[in-house]
Chain A
Amino acid sequence: MSSASSGRFPHARVVALAASAVVMLVPANLLPVISTNISGEARTDTIYSGIVGLWQQGLWGIAAIVFTASILVPFLKLAGLTSLLIASHWRPNRHARQLTRFYAGLDFIGRWSMLDVFLVGLLSGLVQFGSLASIEPRPGIAAFATVVVLTMLATQSFDPRVLWPTHQRGSLTP
């Protein structure tokens, strides 16, 4: 990691990972992640339609939790990383302290995006009643999991030390 974060393009790895995550956001949100077949009534759901379904079930709190974990957090992380990358062009940064805190927050929330991946696994592992009722995973969840892993790797690759005056590693030109 350290070799990639020094030199002419100190953020090459972060940018590459974050850009890949943005690309993968498209199939992650468009492809169905789960298919449900209960009492002959079949439906497939994307991440978003699953949240709408929870809302229509009357489970507003649960819908809000899943919305935060699956849609808000990936978006916040990618937008936050972008602003941190832009901010790191002014070094030393006057707001380094706040930005470092912000980075720590981004790093903390990332793992909660895995909620939907766990959820799809649990639902399809539990509801197995043959033709009467069954839930199965769909490939969209693979795209979504890829987004989660890529955003986590991107956040981990960002080195908040570039916001501070003494960046001791590598040979950065001022």
Chain B
Amino acid sequence: MHSRAESGPPAPAGIKNPPPPSDESGDESERLPSDGRFICRLCGYEHQPVRLARGERAVCARCGATLAKGVRDGADVPLAFAITGLIFALPAAVLPVLTASKFGNEHSALILSGVAALSHGGLQPIAMLVLICGILGPVVLLAILIALLLTTRLGAAPPPAALFLFAQQLSRWAMPEVHVLAVLVAFAKLGDLVTISIGPGLWFYGGMVLSIVIAWRSFDLEIPAPVSRHGEVIS
């Protein structure tokens, strides 16, 4: 079996490859002062970190995965949205998400009501899973994002790579967008059985989800930490 030309030469550890190609002419991109290597999170190909211009996209030279996107809206936008998301988290937690009424009785559910119901039903581990994936994960992720972005913004010492790695791991388990879909499915499903209406908590929760998506979108590039997906910290 012969290796294909597009694969490029094998990259032994320690040898840096040319900067990844970008959508637009990326040749004028200046190199970051840091000496960190940027490892493709999928195929492990090594790249030298480059500063991307607005709207540029860095793709892996070997497997074609998107490595990072250029800042689209200005450097402070991710931080602004991360703070917005954290502010939204409080009303999202204490205001009703859905309100059901039946036989003159009215009952409102908070985003946490599902956790309580699962716990009462004797399914504490599942309640914990829902708590982490739906509420705790997103909030902690936002807090870490703010901490990481603020230290960069204020020019303080670079944040520990372990924190970045933790945020990456946590982002796989924080899935508030799936929770929003579940609320909408519940709303549709219960329409036949009870009178149901959407409460203000859902709007704040949805706002938090959007904030996370926007803040996280530009995050990978903002701090090109030389961290691979499988837990090795290379520096």
The residue on A at minimum CB distance from B114 is: A121
Is the interface on chain B under 10, 10 to 19, 20 to 34, or 35 or more residues?
A: 35 or more
Distance in angstroms between the alpha carbons of A114 and B42 in the assembled complex: 24
CB distance from B17 to the nearest CB of A (A): 11
The residue on A at minimum CB distance from B60 is: A100
B35 within 8 A of A: no
Distance in angstroms between the alpha carbons of A142 and B124 in the assembled complex: 9
The residue on A at minimum CB distance from B64 is: A97
- Contact between A125 and B113 (Cβ–Cβ < 8 Å)? yes
Contacts of A168 in B (CB 8 A): 12-13, 44
- Contact between A121 and B64 (Cβ–Cβ < 8 Å)? no
| Given the contacts A92-B1, A96-B43, A156-B172, A111 and B178 also touching, CB distance less than 8 Å | yes
CB distance from A104 to the nearest CB of B (A): 6
| Given the contacts A121-B117, A127-B190, A160-B43, A166 and B11 also touching, CB distance less than 8 Å | yes
- Contact between A101 and B178 (Cβ–Cβ < 8 Å)? no
B contacts with A: majority SS: mixed
- Which of B11, B118, B122 has the largest count of A CB atoms less than 10 A from its CB? B118
Query: Contacting A121 at CB < 8 Å: which of B127, B185, B194, B231?
Result: B127
CB distance from B91 to the nearest CB of A (A): 18
- Contact between A66 and B185 (Cβ–Cβ < 8 Å)? yes
- Contact between A5 and B123 (Cβ–Cβ < 8 Å)? no
Query: Contacting B1 at CB < 8 Å: which of A94, A115, A119, A137?
Result: A94
The residue on B at minimum CB distance from A139 is: B123
- Contact between A127 and B100 (Cβ–Cβ < 8 Å)? yes
- Contact between A54 and B107 (Cβ–Cβ < 8 Å)? no
| Given the contacts A62-B189, A66-B185, A122 and B113 also touching, CB distance less than 8 Å | yes
Question: How does the 8 Å CB contact mask read for B110-147 relative to A, with 1 for contact and 0 for none?
Answer: 10011111100111011101100110000000000000
| Given the contacts A57-B192, A104-B42, A122-B182, A137 and B13 also touching, CB distance less than 8 Å | no
The residue on B at minimum CB distance from A149 is: B129
- Which of A90, A114, A167 has the largest count of B CB atoms less than 10 A from its CB? A114
CB distance from B205 to the nearest CB of A (A): 12
B105 within 8 A of A: yes
A126 within 8 A of B: yes
Count, A-B residue pairs, CB within 8 A = 180
Contacts of A112 in B (CB 8 A): 178, 181
- Contact between B182 and A133 (Cβ–Cβ < 8 Å)? no
Contacts of B4 in A (CB 8 A): 94
CB distance from B122 to the nearest CB of A (A): 8
- Contact between B107 and A145 (Cβ–Cβ < 8 Å)? no
- Contact between A164 and B43 (Cβ–Cβ < 8 Å)? yes
Question: How does the 8 Å CB contact mask read for B176-192 relative to A, with 1 for contact and 0 for none?
Answer: 00110111011011101
| Given the contacts A122-B182, A137-B118, A168-B13, A145 and B113 also touching, CB distance less than 8 Å | no
Contacts of A164 in B (CB 8 A): 7, 43-45, 62-63
- Contact between A38 and B129 (Cβ–Cβ < 8 Å)? no
Distance in angstroms between the alpha carbons of A95 and B46 in the assembled complex: 20
Which residues from 3 to 56 on chain B have a C-beta closer than 8 Å to any C-beta of chain A?
3-4, 6-7, 10-13, 42-45
Contacts of B179 in A (CB 8 A): 118
Distance in angstroms between the alpha carbons of A127 and B194 in the assembled complex: 9
| Given the contacts A1-B231, A128-B107, A100 and B65 also touching, CB distance less than 8 Å | yes
